[in-house]
């Protein structure tokens, strides 16, 4: 086939995105389909896997309409997706219940039990047991839904359910599997003692491949539905953070980036396992062989801005950002009536590992304005990332200049504030909002035997933000006060 095209699909929490990528790394078309989240009880977070498949069908139909010639030349598919979710299948590959997502906190007691009973496992699995990871969710199901638990034939991560619908095969990749807590991250294979600790056996896990390896071909039914050739190859793909890293060219040890989407994270690439479980730092497999990454993760990132925008009745996030920029300019001292914000709307991972922790404003006054509240939210997320960065560095990973990716990267005001808070040069990239899709498409090409140089291909720098020296003392003082508030927040549920 001349001029092959790779299709990259990223299954996010709030949106499924897809791109058509050519061999030069150029995006020929992209699309997005919104997804709904169900929260049937406080702390629960679920989605229906069928909704993912319908969004996939709709998104690919849109790509075919936009670029019919390029779509007809699709030879490979790469997948990226939200990590840590639990999709439960019976022996006929039917979904047994709604998928439990990464920000679901119902399995707190089960995570604590795993940590207490198997303290040595964290060094093997790359992370402390946390309620949001997959393994504790299965313990919760065994306790609360035992009849359903006994019918489980296979557990898949979210993007691997899309692969099942595309190929008919139960397959995962090592980067997504690392986020389940069932993987030996050094050996890049299932860790059977942890499987047994959660009542499962190896045969209930999907087959593992590397992210850049061929996984399976499209099945006839999917090829017909999608108007693609059945010879189209599906690559291993990976979890959203490591695949975003491939998308922006962060594949070598020493490279680092900040993701600012629904959640947020500081990610540093390593050539070895470099975790610090005691500080809730993850060390997971990269989407490329013989590479890993160290991550400090926040459960709420740009979603905090969306929340406060709705709370204040603003038209949209951009309107609130504009207000903050006008009334709280970064070159001047922050007004005294500006509150501090704890960004723990969904609990927190790094460094606190506390899914019951909740956020809040402190230092509210009659003089506090919507602009000040908006600024406080941006600053609070930045302080949370500073906590995460310190934890990542405690594991021995390097964090110097950082690229900024995700929806939050669209705001120059926020990017400059992050540069000031993190005391690092921050770079925004053209097209970074599609980084996971592009990374997935790059992995598709590698599995197809093409595009060897694509993973290292970065994205054009849109803007550089250098720390403003005059802001450091004021921000450090506000950060100290932010840190002092943690004990009070913890005590509310302690």
Q: Where are the domains of the chain?
A: 5-248
Query: Is residue 132's pLDDT more than 70?
Result: yes
Query: Is residue 1's pLDDT more than 60?
Result: no
Is 84 annotated to bind ligand? yes
Asked if residue 59 lies in contact with residue 123, where contact means CB atoms within 8 angstroms, the answer is no
d(CA 101, CA 52): 13
Take residue 218 and report the two structure tokens written for it. Answer: 């499209």
* Residue 485 CB neighbours (<10 A): 16
pLDDT number for residue 79: 98
pLDDT number for residue 494: 63
d(CA 225, CA 210): 27
- Radius of gyration of the chain from its Cα atoms, rounded to whole angstroms: 22
Active site residue 240: yes
d(CA 408, CA 405): 7
The arithmetic mean of pLDDT across residues 23-45, rounded, is 95
d(CA 374, CA 304): 10
For the segment 440-488, what is each residue's pLDDT rounded down to a tens digit? 999 999 999 999 999 999 999 999 999 998 888 999 999 999 999 999 9
Take residue 128 and report the two structure tokens written for it. Answer: 């402390």
Percent of the chain topping pLDDT 90: 87
Helix (H) or strand (E) segment spanning residue 15: strand 15-22
Q: Which fold has domain 5-248?
A: Nucleotidyltransferase; domain 5 (3.30.420)
d(CA 47, CA 158): 10
What are 92-97's contacts with CB under 8 Å, separation 24+? 93/153, 93/154, 93/164, 93/168, 93/170, 95/48, 95/49, 95/50, 95/161, 96/148, 96/151, 96/152, 97/145, 97/148
Residues facing 269 on adjacent strands: 293
Percent of the chain topping pLDDT 70: 100
The arithmetic mean of pLDDT across residues 268-285, rounded, is 87
Asked if residue 423 lies in contact with residue 467, where contact means CB atoms within 8 angstroms, the answer is yes
Residue 133: closest CA among 108, 166, 98, 163? 108
Catalytic residue among 176, 240, 354, 387: 240
pLDDT number for residue 396: 85
Is 61 annotated to bind ligand? no
């Amino acid at each position: 086939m001349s001029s092959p095209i790779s299709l990259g699909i990223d299954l996010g929490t709030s949106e499924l995105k897809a791109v058509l990528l050519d061999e030069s790394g150029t995006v020929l078309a992209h699309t997005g389909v919104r997804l709904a989240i169900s929260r049937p009880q406080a702390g629960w977070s679920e989605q229906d896997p069928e909704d993912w498949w319908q969004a996939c069908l709709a998104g690919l139909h849109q790509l075919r309409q936009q670029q019919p010639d390029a779509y007809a030349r699709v030879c490979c598919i790469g997948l990226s997706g939200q990590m840590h979710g639990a999709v439960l299948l019976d022996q006929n590959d039917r979904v047994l219940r709604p998928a439990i997502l990464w920000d679901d906190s119902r399995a707190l007691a089960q995570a604590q039990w795993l940590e207490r009973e198997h303290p040595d496992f964290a060094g093997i699995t790359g992370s402390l047991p946390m309620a949001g990871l997959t393994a504790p969710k299965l313990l919760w199901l065994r306790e609360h839904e035992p009849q359903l638990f006994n019918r489980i034939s296979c557990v898949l991560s979210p993007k691997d359910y899309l692969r099942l619908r595309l190929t008919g095969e139960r397959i995962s990749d090592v980067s997504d599997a690392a986020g389940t807590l069932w993987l030996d991250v050094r050996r890049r294979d299932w860790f059977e003692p942890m499987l047994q600790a959660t009542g499962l056996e190896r045969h209930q896990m999907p087959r593992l491949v590397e992210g850049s390896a061929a996984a399976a071909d499209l099945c006839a039914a999917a090829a017909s539905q999608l108007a693609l050739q059945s010879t189209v190859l599906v690559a291993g793909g990976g979890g959203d953070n490591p695949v975003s890293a491939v998308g922006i060219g962060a594949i070598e040890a020493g490279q680092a980036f900040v993701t600012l989407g629904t959640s947020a994270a500081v990610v540093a690439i390593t050539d070895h396992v470099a975790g610090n479980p005691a500080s809730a730092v993850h060390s997971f497999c990269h989407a490329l062989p013989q590479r890993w990454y160290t991550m400090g993760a926040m459960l709420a990132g740009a979603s905090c801005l969306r929340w406060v925008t709705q709370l204040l009745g603003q038209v949209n996030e951009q309107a609130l950002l504009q207000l903050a920029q006008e009334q709280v300019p970064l070159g001047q001292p922050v007004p005294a009536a500006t509150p501090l914000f704890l960004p723990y709307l969904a609990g927190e991972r790094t460094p606190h590992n506390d899914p019951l922790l909740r956020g809040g404003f402190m230092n509210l006054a009659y003089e506090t304005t919507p602009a000040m509240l908006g600024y406080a939210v941006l600053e609070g997320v930045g302080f949370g990332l500073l906590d995460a960065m310190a934890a990542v560095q405690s594991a021995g990973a390097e964090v110097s200049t950082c690229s900024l990716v995700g929806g939050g990267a669209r705001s120059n005001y926020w990017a400059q504030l992050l540069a000031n808070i993190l005391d690092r040069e921050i770079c925004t990239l053209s097209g970074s909002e599609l980084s996971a899709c592009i990374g997935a498409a790059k992995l598709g090409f590698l599995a197809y035997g093409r595009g060897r140089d694509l993973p290292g291909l970065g994205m054009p720098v849109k803007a550089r933000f250098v720390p403003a020296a005059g802001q450091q003392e004021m921000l450090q003082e506000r950060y100290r006060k932010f840190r002092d508030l943690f004990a009070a927040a913890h005590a509310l549920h302690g």
